[in-house]
Amino acid sequence: MTGAPATAREASGHPGGRARPTGPTLLALAAAGMVVSVQQTLVLPLLPQLMDRFDASITDVTWVFTASLLAGAVATPLLTRFGDMYGKKRMILLALVLLLTGSVVCAVSGSLPVLIAGRALQGVSSALIPLAIGMIRDTFPPARVTTAIGIVSATMGVGGSAGMIVTGLIATRTSSHHPVFWIAAALAAAALALAAAAARDVGVRAGGRPDYAGAAVLAGWLVCLLLGISQGNAWGWTSGGVLALFGAAAAACAVWVVIELRVRAPLVRLNLLVGARSLSANLVSALLGFSMFAAFTLIAGFVQAPSAKVGYGLDGSVLDVGLYMLPSTVTMLVFSAMAGRIAARLGPAWTLAIGSAFAGLCYAWLAVSNSHGYDMLAFSAIQGLGFGIAYAALGTLAVQHVPMDQSGIASGINSLVRTTGGSVAGAVTASILAGRVIDGTATPTLGGYVLCFWIVAAGAAVAALIAVAHALRHPSETSVPAARALDEPAPRHAL
């Protein structure tokens, strides 16, 4: 690993001091991010159909989602670190190749195990967004970094809505899951071609030898932790299996910390996870991940609830879920592009606080008023505004203080804790809804949904407070990093 901080020219992404057009790179990264986000949500509406098609229980079919989650959690720190070491473009192309391969496997699958295997391959592509953020920092002039990160980050919400719409359109015409994944394969192939042709990789490469022991132990405790969270409702939170998974995760995590403190070139420098400037960004990322992922499950169920039978809901279809989220797509794109200007005036931390506050406001709206279609449209518009601003600022805050040759892994860690927050959101909201049902049915009550909306709003509000505290603690971070050498690398064994 190189220990030298980036030079001003490297920080600007202009080797040799000569500016190069960055538009094609941004287009390629945004398109790739969009495809990755589409595959993450397009399977959710299919789960009931898959239960019928494969004559499987909900516990078995849930693995179609869980396999992708686990693969993404393991792959994200590995591929982002390898991106710092050997080039981010290589890892982006690898992620897209695996996404394409997994999509084809899913498209031809005739059994549930094959479908789950294909979803695991697709899940590796979750590493692409943090790799793209690292490449942006390497390539773009400092004044454009936050805006570019915002546009790429916005694809998480835009692609999520698009995935719902695509699946909704297909679900109205066929009960087969094959067409959905053929579309995913076509999108992955197009993104792969675009990234290969247009993305530029000009960043500093750390080189060095991979930390195999750290990688293996990290993968082990992440799988145990996320598997325990994702299966807690199905197996029982006090069951032997879940408790054993959490115990194994804690023990393996302790071993991993020891390895990373002692190895010469660790996979993850722990200051990127719990350092003074990294901790607040990672806490906010977990809380915003909790808030955003909750929307995918809560809104889908609420919109499709039959109001005449249960007293709430909008009597919608899977397609309606995607359509109600269209305002979020528009506002997220608009305000993510504006985030760079806001951050230039206020700094990333204050900008992140503003976005988080709006993210909380949208859920508070639904908790108070949720009986009309315009309530859902207002929620969607405010949600896109909040997350568009917040994710753009969060991406900058997570990497602005680290050396250039660690930007990929810093962004990867931030993305990983967001995924963990999203997993917790799924478990918490499912537990609440399962515990508050209409008598004699398994249908959640309106009170259960309202409680979930308040909890998610509170999570976003806490994220805003953490961002404010960071801004007050580090007042010098008042703008997008200038074209200067960034902070020196942390000491080898520093926490």
Quick: pLDDT tens for 407-464. 888 888 888 888 888 888 888 888 888 888 898 888 899 999 999 999 999 999 999 9
**Structure-token match 């949500």, residue found:** 41
Alpha helices in 237-325 (DSSP H): 240-262, 271-274, 278-304, 307-310, 318-324
What is the enclosing helix (H) or strand (E) of 395?
helix 373-399
The rounded distance, in Å, linking the Cα atoms of 236 and 228 is 10
pLDDT at 492 over 60: no
**How far is it, in rounded angstroms, from Cα 466 to Cα 397?**
13
- Look at residue 143 in the predicted model and tell me its pLDDT: 82
- Show Cβ contacts of residue 41 under 8 Å, excluding neighbours closer than 6 positions: 159, 160, 161, 163, 164, 167, 296
User: pLDDT tier at 203 (50, 70, 90 boundaries)?
Assistant: low
pLDDT at 29: 93
Name which residue leads in pLDDT, 87 or 319. 87
Segment 176-190, tens digit of pLDDT: 889 989 999 999 999
Q: Which residue has the higher pLDDT, 376 or 294?
A: 376
Rounded-to-integer distance, Cα 138 and Cα 133, Å = 9
pLDDT over threshold 90, residue 94: yes
* Per-residue pLDDT at 478: 53
- Rounded distance, CA 441 to CA 129, Å? 41
Q: How far apart are CA 133 and CA 150, in angstroms?
A: 9
Instruction: Find, among 91, 78, 107, the residue nearest to 32 by Cα.
Output: 91
Output the average pLDDT for the chain: 84
Q: How confident is the model at residue 477 (pLDDT cuts 50, 70, 90)?
A: low
Architecture of domain 22-210+267-473: Up-down Bundle (1.20)
Q: Alpha helix locations (H) across 109-211? A: 112-123, 128-139, 142-171, 178-198
At a CB cut-off of 8 Å and minimum separation 6, what does 368 contact?
A: none
Distance CA 320, CA 221 (A): 38
User: How confident is the model over 221-239, as pLDDT tens digits?
Assistant: 988 998 888 888 878 889 9
- 3-state secondary structure (DSSP) of residue 148: helix
Compute the distance between CA of residue 13 and CA of residue 146 in angstroms, rounded to an integer. 14
| DSSP code for 444 | B
Residue 12 scores a pLDDT above 80: no
Which residue in 158, 182, 170, 135 sits closest to 22, CA to CA? 135
Are 305 and 312 in contact by the 8 Å Cβ rule? The answer is yes
pLDDT the model gives residue 207 = 63
Residue 254: how many other CB atoms lie within 10 Å: 12
Q: How many whole angstroms separate alpha carbon 188 and alpha carbon 183?
A: 9
pLDDT at 381 over 80: yes
**Per the structure block, which two tokens stand in for 238?**
């006090």
Q: How far apart are CA 372 and CA 389, in angstroms?
A: 27
CA distance 411 to 145: 14
**What's the CA gap between 200 and 345, in Å, rounded?**
29
Residue 3 has pLDDT above 80, yes or no: no
Q: Does the structure show a pLDDT above 80 at 208?
A: no
CA pair distance 213, 219, nearest whole angstrom: 10
| Of the candidate ranges 55-64, 210-219, 364-373, 430-439, the one whose mean pLDDT is the lowest | 55-64
Query: Amino acid identity, residue 233?
Result: N
**DSSP state for residue 154 in the 8-state scheme:** H
Residue type, 279: L
pLDDT at 404 > cutoff 80: no
What are the CA-CA distances from residue 324 to residues 151, 255, 288, 373, 476 (Å)? 21, 46, 21, 8, 41
Say how far residue 391 (Cα) sits from the centre of its chain.
Answer: 10
Closest CA to 123 of 105, 99, 93: 99
Residues with Cβ within 8 Å of 482's Cβ and at least 6 positions away in sequence, in order, are: 142
Cα separation, 97 vs 33, in Å, equals: 14
